[in-house]
Chain A
């Protein structure tokens, strides 16, 4: 469940320290490792492809500019997601918040429309996406972080500024609400 990438040599922490010490090229390795996962993070939160790409670019730029805030021993993934969340807040402060979410969500679901998948599975996926989009943002975020980004509860807690117990409660509540919305959309009564 650990969200940090497999500990190849050198690991993310070592690379980031090298970037901090002036070897900006090492950021390209970190980009290779994390840009997809960050893109998916944003796409799942916003449903907006263009915004997601802009935000990924922004995160890596901020890593360069704020490299001095990275300290030895810090968990790289937590640091990266902290930057990612700040970038998102700034981005949507400028644009009207969340407008694109529901309209853009279908586009985010395109991957499910792959011909290889059965019709029922595709419909289910589309409904689940809709349910996820209807979830209040902070609940959606905690689900995305825990389910898709594979962050440990400790990492999420550090990111959201709460303890592990509180993260578990949030995950549980978000999941429960998601299931309720999903049941409504799919016409099945939540039991």
Chain B
């Protein structure tokens, strides 16, 4: 057997797709040809590479996602029931048939029309449509995962939820509210800190700015206080100076935090002198 033939057969050999006769012929060739033998050996060695296992958190995240999804389905079903079939827009309801059989027939009709129209569309157009749909789905998924994780019992899961929020480009108000709730009320300092950091990227939203000012007022942990002071100073919110002054008036404030308040006010152009007024 020549090398050329051997190379042709190699992929089948590797996939166990040769009959015994072809197999032994090829192995005979390997015995006398180092090059082909090495290629088969590389395949064998490759198979011996082990891989790490995923962390247990992967399953927890999957479960959280599935639960969030089922909850979402349940909510949608309830909404549809209470709104008396509002899935059909008002202008359609007038002629949309009430009998299921007719509804089905209509649906099939639409499907056929849709398929026909689909055929007429260019492949490019369809691909673009699919892509944007895909983006939208992924966007929704990230929101959902972030939300469901932020409601978990374990602090590390909530932390993950906060970190998921970084992947949301345009958060809806639910995600922002969850992050703000977390920064205000989460019992874990780590989680509150992470939420404060995560909110930095959404600081252009008025609700976030307002929420951050409120969060600073409630904060007892010096670490979180400092993180929030830095954030409010950096985003130069007009309410920042007021919030900082209010915090500075607290006599039980830790020294490091007080120092940060003063630095912050200076940065905002409201240093000691104007503050003392």
Contacts and interface: CB of A to CB of B under 8 A. Distances in A.
Interface string B47-63: 11111111101110111
B65 A60 contact: yes
Interface stretch (B36-44, B201-209, B211-219): B36-44
Interface string B131-155: 0001101101100010000000000
B69 interface: yes
Given A124-B45, A128-B49, A153-B15, A58 B54 contact: no
B51 A179 contact: no
Contacts of A44: 49, 51
Contact of B141 (A27, A61, A153, A183): A61
Contacts of B11: 153, 167-169, 171-172
Contact-size category for B = 35 or more
B52 A108 contact: yes
Contact of B54 (A39, A153, A178): A39
Contact of A147 (B8, B46, B55, B66): B46
A108 B66 CA distance: 28
A138 B45 CA distance: 20
A44 B10 CA distance: 23
B66 to A, nearest CB: 6
Contacts of B52: 43, 49, 107-108, 110-111
Nearest to A22: B73
Contacts of A24: 66, 69-70, 73
Interface size class of A (residues with CB under 8 A): 35 or more
B46 A36 contact: no
Contacts of B134: 86, 90
A85 interface: no
Interface string B1-34: 0000001101110111100000000000000001
A163 B137 CA distance: 31
A108 B51 contact: yes
Given A147-B46, A183-B38, 18 more contacts: A24-B73, A25-B70, A35-B54, A35-B59, A58-B138, A61-B141, A64-B69, A65-B140, A110-B52, A111-B52, A125-B49, A153-B11, A153-B15, A175-B10, A175-B14, A178-B42, A191-B34, A191-B38
24 contacts: A1-B17, A27-B66, A28-B62, A35-B54, A35-B58, A36-B53, A36-B54, A39-B58, A44-B51, A49-B52, A53-B57, A56-B58, A90-B134, A90-B138, A107-B52, A111-B50, A112-B49, A114-B50, A125-B49, A125-B50, A132-B49, A148-B49, A153-B11, A172-B39
Closest 9 CB pairs of A and B: A168-B11, A111-B50, A39-B54, A179-B42, A40-B51, A61-B141, A65-B137, A171-B11, A191-B35
Interface of A: 1, 22, 24-25, 27-28, 31, 35-36, 39-40, 43-44, 49, 52-53, 56-58, 60-62, 64-66, 86, 90, 107-108, 110-112, 114, 124-125, 128-129, 132, 143, 146-148, 152-153, 167-169, 171-172, 175-176, 178-179, 182-183, 190-191
